[in-house]
Amino acid sequence: MFAALAHAQAVAVAQEVDTIAERTRPCTACHGKEGRATPDGYFPRIAGKPAGYLYNQLVNFREGRRQNGPMTYLVQHMSDAYLREIAAHFSSLDLPYPPSPQLPLPAEVLQRGETLALQGDAQRKVPACVQCHGSALTGVSPAMPGLLGLPRDYVISQFGAWRTGQRKAAQPDCMAQVTQRLAPQDIAAVAGWLSTRPLPTPAKPASSIAMPLPMDCGSGPTR
């Protein structure tokens, strides 16, 4: 009897531990508790992001289109099905965002960032961020990420990675094209403005977006 009870308890513990939340602990070690993001500025929030976007990024790390040693090591032997499971788990998390930091940026810098985000720059052939990332900038399902709630340093670093070819996406790589058209001060301005914007309630990704997109984008919707 005691042996049967011990076995049942062991099975129950094993079932409790073997959850997707437990199996994704290596993710939250860097991305923060429950994928909320960390305060150091270089690890993005992954909780609540569109599942298609998260899956695409995991595949990009696995296939070498994005460069990060720990991420590549983590996913290099994972199947598509398991990457989709991870993406679905973090996408399903509905967690509050911390208040946006009020960075002491000059008014002209914030104005330039707002213009790029909401209107783009026709002369440079740069579309507005809202044209692809949603009118609320919270992303669009299934695969366009939100831009709010991200640390300024992280956003700047990703633009830099696209500029140097360390970050790539499915072709045509629209963000790589946008990055090459932006001056460094433009990148700093839009990253600074985005990082200070409060998130709307709710902060869920939009379910659809006006088509066609302003640019051909291998990671975006096709219709």
Instruction: Say if 71 falls within a structural domain.
Output: yes
User: What is the CATH classification number for the domain harbouring 139?
Assistant: 1.10.760.10
Instruction: Say if 205 falls within a structural domain.
Output: no
Tokens standing for residue 213: 């997109």
Q: How far is residue 133's CA from residue 130's CA, in Å, rounded to a whole number?
A: 5
Question: Strand pairing partners for 121?
Answer: 126
Instruction: Say if 223 falls within a structural domain.
Output: no
Q: How far is residue 134's CA from residue 154's CA, in Å, rounded to a whole number?
A: 20
Instruction: Say if 204 falls within a structural domain.
Output: no
Which tens digit of pLDDT belongs to each residue from 23-54?
998 898 888 877 777 666 678 889 999 999 99
Task: Please check whether residue 206 is in contact with residue 213, taking contact to mean a CB–CB distance below 8 angstroms.
Answer: no
Q: What is the amino acid identity at position 27?
A: C
Which tens digit of pLDDT belongs to each residue from 162-210?
999 999 998 999 999 999 999 999 999 999 999 999 988 888 899 999 9
Rounded to two decimals, the pTM is 0.83
* Total of domains in the chain: 1
Instruction: Say if 172 falls within a structural domain.
Output: yes
Which tens digit of pLDDT belongs to each residue from 111-154?
999 999 999 999 999 999 999 999 999 999 999 999 998 889 98
Return binding residues for heme c: 27, 30-31, 71, 129, 132-133, 175
Domain boundaries, position 54: 2-196
Instruction: Say if 221 falls within a structural domain.
Output: no
Instruction: Say if 173 falls within a structural domain.
Output: yes
Instruction: Say if 216 falls within a structural domain.
Output: no
pLDDT of 6 reads 40
Return binding residues: 27, 30-31, 71, 129, 132-133, 175
